[in-house]
């Protein structure tokens, strides 16, 4: 088995090929294009496992190499830096470090979603960007009108008919902001047309992700309920793991119950003492009454 570490960049990819003993068989650079990768893969020893760091370029390289390698793995960038940190750092050394992590089974592998899921995520991210830009344009229109003191109906401002009537009939609209209003309106309208009627990838993704989101929500609710039942009260340094100062909720409840029991016992004892005191007073009263009767 050969272990191939890739250090991916925008225009070039540095690679290092090692065997199980750590001996370097190949290393160098290849262009970050599909046809150069095809030529390079023909020179690789087989079978081979490829590993690379997760970057913005990882997706298409992963898809392109997957049919030609026994396995392709993607490493978490932050965890990989913590494991393979070195004083001397360049593309060749980074590729060798990734190959060593792969060879020694130290590679902090991250999940790589399927191509279809990544395409849908890309569509959703782009749609989210367009929606935010559309909201910014609408807020910009309202800001221009308020800045110049133009009276308008805020609820109807973004309606097509009302906006045209506002520009045509309202004399408070300054000539300096008319082109800005038109540009903002046209930009928001075109963005709304892109985001609104699209039905293919976005609705499919929402239909797939909706039950997953509901399941995750139920899971979070259950976890929150569980944490409330087993809440932790601390009186020490939690970061320093002061275990002696940590009490779980059941222990707190037991302590409260014992306190209530002691309080009830104390109240019962006080009641008994008061009752005895009353009986002593009654006995003294009877004795005084008998003495008074005998004296008469």
DSSP-assigned letter for residue 69: S
> What are φ and ψ of residue 13, in 5° steps?
-130, 120
pLDDT of residue 7: 92
- Please choose, from the candidates 91, 108, 119, the residue with its C-alpha nearest in 3D space to the C-alpha of residue 29: 91
| Distance (Å, whole) CA 253 – CA 249 | 6
Instruction: Please classify residue 209 by burial: count the beta carbons closer than 10 Å to its beta carbon, then call 0-12 exposed, 13-18 middle and 19+ buried.
Output: middle
pLDDT of residue 234: 44
Q: Which fold has domain 2-103?
A: Nucleotidyltransferase; domain 5 (3.30.420)
| Distance (Å, whole) CA 185 – CA 193 | 12
pTM for the full predicted model: 0.55
pLDDT of residue 216: 62
Helices (H), the chain: 34-41, 58-65, 77-83, 91-103, 115-147, 160-169, 178-195, 201-229, 249-295
Helix, strand, or coil here: 233? strand
What is the residue extent of each domain of the chain? Answer: 2-103, 116-195, 230-296
Going from the first residue of the chain to its last (296 residues), give the mean pLDDT of each consecutive group of 10, the final group possibly shorter: 92 93 91 92 89 91 90 89 71 89 90 90 89 86 87 83 85 85 78 58 58 60 60 44 42 52 51 49 49 46
CB 292 within 8 A of CB 286: no
- Please choose, from the candidates 187, 150, 141, the residue with its C-alpha nearest in 3D space to the C-alpha of residue 169: 150
Helix, strand, or coil here: 2? strand
pLDDT of residue 243: 38
How far is the CA of 88 from the CAs of 79, 172, 245, in angstroms? 18, 67, 45
DSSP-assigned letter for residue 296: -
Q: What angle do CA 55, 63, 97 make, to 5 degrees?
A: 45
pLDDT of residue 64: 92
The strand pair at 48-53 and 71-75 is best described as parallel
Paired with 26 in beta bridges are: 17
Helix, strand, or coil here: 60? helix
């Amino acid at each position: 088995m050969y272990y191939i570490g890739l250090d991916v960049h925008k225009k070039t990819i540095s690679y290092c090929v090692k065997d199980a003993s750590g001996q370097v068989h190949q290393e160098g650079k290849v262009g970050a294009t599909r046809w150069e990768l095809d030529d390079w893969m023909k020179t690789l020893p087989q079978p081979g496992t490829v590993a690379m760091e997760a970057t913005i370029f990882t997706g298409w390289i992963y898809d392109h190499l997957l049919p030609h390698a026994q396995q392709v793995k993607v490493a978490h960038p932050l965890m990989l830096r913590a494991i393979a940190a070195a004083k001397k750092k360049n593309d060749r050394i980074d590729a060798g470090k990734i190959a060593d992590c792969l060879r020694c089974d130290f590679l902090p592998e991250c999940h790589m979603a399927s191509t279809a899921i990544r395409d849908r995520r890309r569509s959703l991210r782009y749609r989210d960007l367009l929606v935010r830009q559309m909201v910014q344009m609408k807020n910009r229109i309202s800001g221009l009108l308020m800045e110049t003191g133009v009276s308008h109906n805020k609820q109807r401002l973004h309606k097509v008919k009302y906006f045209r009537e506002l520009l045509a009939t309202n004399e408070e609209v300054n000539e300096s902001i008319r082109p800005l209003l038109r540009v903002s309106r046209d930009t928001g309208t075109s963005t709304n047309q892109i985001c609104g009627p699209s039905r293919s990838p976005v609705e499919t993704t929402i239909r797939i992700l909706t039950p997953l989101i509901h399941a995750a929500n139920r899971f979070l609710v259950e976890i929150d309920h569980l944490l409330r039942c087993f809440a932790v009260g601390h009186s020490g340094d939690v970061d320093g793991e002061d275990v002696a100062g940590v009490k779980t909720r059941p222990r707190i409840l037991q302590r409260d119950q014992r306190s209530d029991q002691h309080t009830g016992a104390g109240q019962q004892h006080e009641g008994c003492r008061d009752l005895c005191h009353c009986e002593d007073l009654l006995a003294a009263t009877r004795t005084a009454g008998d003495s008074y009767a005998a004296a008469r």
